Chains A and B, each alone.
Chain A
């Protein structure tokens, strides 16, 4: 979904480097810088023979770590660890200290002395056996232990044995009554693994209508079956179950979820078309409809633009080659794309922003046009089309007066423009519109919008700051002259 999300963040994120402070006492960042300098100055003394440093590969994994080795295997090197290790040992003395141990201290030899596992004399022994598993798994245990000693385990004992990881035959639970008692016991044991095991057995031995009917009154077991069917991908049975339970919305969602696995766009579009009729809530139905319309539109735009790009006729596409296809992108991204490549197109064309806007009635629930203006602004600023930016931010009232209006704070507009290297003349106009005086001053100072700074100080009647600002402007410039004339203005009643 990210039409180069990083790219997007680049447009949007502020570049403003205001230190984030938790208390305003001192400039934390400069303190940090200072510490860094101090520590760095020690570098010469501390020559970089990282002797106590973990050996780290280029990817950052410590050499010899498991993650590192796996990456090595994955990157196509088929040499065995043996070979790699020896090559490593040449280069590193720290690594050679790990010879293959054959001494009596090796862990395996410890274990080898202890593989005499108790064989069980009686049933009660077997039942109380909890210690074995704690120590070592059940591999070399006598074969006989895998078998049931008796076919008469009560449902409770069966569940207990299963909880301990023992193999138990469930075949003797043949009557529905028995099966259900077993299931209830499993649920009472709170072990998902056992509950699932019993469910697998029930699913195999009961007609689905009966299974469903019984699960309807056993919610915990039901949840486990749904989880199990999802994990094993038994979609058809899952849908049948949900339908049986009258969970129509879940049926719809479950089916809709499948579109994520369809790679081919045409097939996906067809599939989405089929989803429109599913029993969603009214609200979601319209979202699904939108999803379908969006993909349909993207397919048209994509085909056109790929053609345009290949032909090499369009200057825009030559100058700014597309980084990714527009298929499967979110609506806002699509709109951005269309404002970027198809801004001036007539409303009749499918790829024009106005057409998109009309089709989807963006943000109809909110401030109208907000999202549209915002997105268009970002796209046009990216192309440095300042006239378009200006037009987007200008509104006319019914008397024909024009006024600047932005759907977000003007400080955000300024940040966005600045990111796209807007010239000072353009920037200045919007910095002036930032409402909060302090923010305005900060931005104006940072981006060298001298006029705005000067006028703001004048309006604040702050002679000291204004005088101080004189050294920030060029000698003999118009700005300096402006400052001087303000300072000399006898009309102003300075506050300091």
Chain B
């Protein structure tokens, strides 16, 4: 079957088992506190929990009332409290307050804390300090991985980005050690593994998304693989929660498409649907009966999905038009390509002056900074001043966070280096100049975006229009203007079977953390699994990247599986950096 050239991508392993394991373990833990109990759930665990269990399962295991952590229990509450929480100091204090209040009023209860995904020593320390250690029992619910779709697994740890990249707090467990001893004697199901730190490529995550799934995420926020479509989408007075995954037959066909191709698809689809309904005319009773019993249900389902996605498109169009999306995209593309920087800077400035969304202004500033290796001091000061004036002085703290993480930096005064660089390059031959430039680059951790982009050809040069309906490369996910850096690296390494020839790029990426792990297993064409590739994104991955790699997979006949600490987008990244009044 494996002919040369285009092969069909292999099926991914079934990750549904992860859900079942998580559910079984949760049930086990709930049974550890037999009898009726009230369950307190941490807010950010609610959506993940919804993906693997529901109220009736909890009820089967004697959960009486459900509370959100931070809400006080009602007076008539149960004799047993169970807390399902992330290991956070704040939450420990909340629990300790409840326990201590009970003690004061002479109320006796049983308390159990279930930490997800693991217990931290710091939490126990707080319990000890608060004098409730021993009054509560602790357990761990090792719910690390939540399959969001057949090819996406999320750890649902959005705070990882801030904690790790801003605070350098290491939350990462030793992967190798965990998997040690497992899988012996079994055929590997995955051929390659990529680990990608988000700070290798901030640019891609900062761009406005224009593939359908990305746009839906940017516009409505997809939470744990499901989205709330409000009245403006459903054209009724209620909101609908919709699961967005491969099971949705309409969505699965448009999720990876550039937004402009989606309209055509939807209208074609609705015409087909109409035609299928029209067949009813002229049916006799028997045919009608078959139609109703066999087809109608499917058609109805499709009808429902179609109208939802059409409604979503309409709402997206309205919102984006209102936000001058076209102009924003234009400015973004200029930044990526590195021309009209002055113009883009004033575009951003106007954004700020008009008090357009603070997140949006921040995002554009970061994109400017990272593509330009930092802002020139004069621009940095003026944009910062205007930002503080428009959105509040406390954002001073936000700017410090961004500077620290390298998203929004000021070119140091010493960076007249660039002037030296250009002089040098005029004097010396290209090759030597390249060396000298690199030496300068290594002085500071810079994004080097421009140079990397050139080396890897991230900005496609296309004669005429880029045909978004028949994409030629991964650039289609950004309207043909830019190939996502993260995805391009993966493509190159796969193509070259290693980093050979990419040394220059690795250096520009400031990458001493790159390790080349030689696969001991030789490429064995009979193993489908060789073409299953796991990509791990530490600090979040965007739907645009997922779409780009799915496209690459289709082209190359391989299957990408995505494992990420969380699904992210530019707004989430910016929000993680913002410090303002709660």
Contacts and interface: CB of A to CB of B under 8 A. Distances in A.
Interface of A: 1, 5, 8-9, 12-23, 28-29, 31-36, 38-42, 45-46, 50, 52-54, 56, 58-62, 64-70, 73-74, 78, 80-82, 85, 98, 100-101, 106-108, 110-112, 130, 133-134, 136-140, 162-163, 165, 189-197, 200, 220, 223-224, 226-228, 230-233, 253, 256-257, 259-260, 283-284, 287-288, 290-291, 294, 328-333, 360, 362-363, 365-366, 370-371, 374, 408, 412
B523 interface: no
A18 B323 CA distance: 11
A42 B302 CA distance: 12
B50 to A, nearest CB: 5
B47 interface: yes
Most buried by A among B49, B58, B76, B266: B266
B59 interface: yes
Given A85-B55, A108-B28, A291-B393, 16 more contacts: A16-B321, A18-B326, A53-B304, A65-B55, A66-B46, A70-B41, A70-B46, A107-B27, A137-B140, A162-B121, A193-B122, A196-B121, A287-B393, A363-B389, A371-B389, A412-B354
B66 A137 contact: no
B174 to A, nearest CB: 6
10 contacts: A8-B355, A14-B322, A31-B263, A32-B263, A32-B266, A35-B267, A163-B173, A196-B121, A260-B394, A331-B389
Contacts of A363: 385-386, 389
B252 interface: no
Nearest to B227: A60
B248 interface: no
Nearest to B121: A197
B264 interface: yes
A12 B354 contact: yes
Nearest to A100: B60
Identify whether the interface residues of A are mostly helix, strand, loop, or mixed: helix
A311 B479 CA distance: 58
B120 interface: yes
Contact of B46 (A67, A134, A189, A257): A67
B88 interface: yes
B566 interface: no
Contacts of A28: 260, 263, 317
Contact of A29 (B264, B274, B317, B390): B317
A143 to B, nearest CB: 13
Contacts of A332: 353, 355, 389-390
B170 interface: yes
A81 B55 contact: yes
B581 A223 contact: no
B323 A81 contact: no
A468 B313 CA distance: 34
A110 B350 CA distance: 63
A34 B267 contact: yes
A142 to B, nearest CB: 16
A206 to B, nearest CB: 16
B321 A19 contact: yes
A66 B140 contact: no
Contacts of B228: 60
Interface residues of B, number: 131
B386 A366 contact: yes
Given A1-B392, A41-B274, A189-B174, A12 B356 contact: yes
A196 B120 contact: yes
Contact of B317 (A32, A190, A329): A32
B480 to A, nearest CB: 9
A396 to B, nearest CB: 24
A1 B354 contact: no
Contacts of A233: 89
B240 A38 contact: no
A230 to B, nearest CB: 8
B267 A136 contact: no
Contacts of B303: 39, 42, 46
A257 B397 contact: yes
Interface string B264-308: 101101110110010010000000000000000101110110110
Contacts of B349: 366
A374 B353 contact: yes
Contacts of A74: 67-68, 71
B446 interface: no
Contacts of B177: 163
B139 A139 contact: yes
Interface in B175-212: 177-178, 180-181, 210
B308 to A, nearest CB: 10
Contacts of A41: 274
Given A22-B258, A39-B306, A56 B317 contact: no
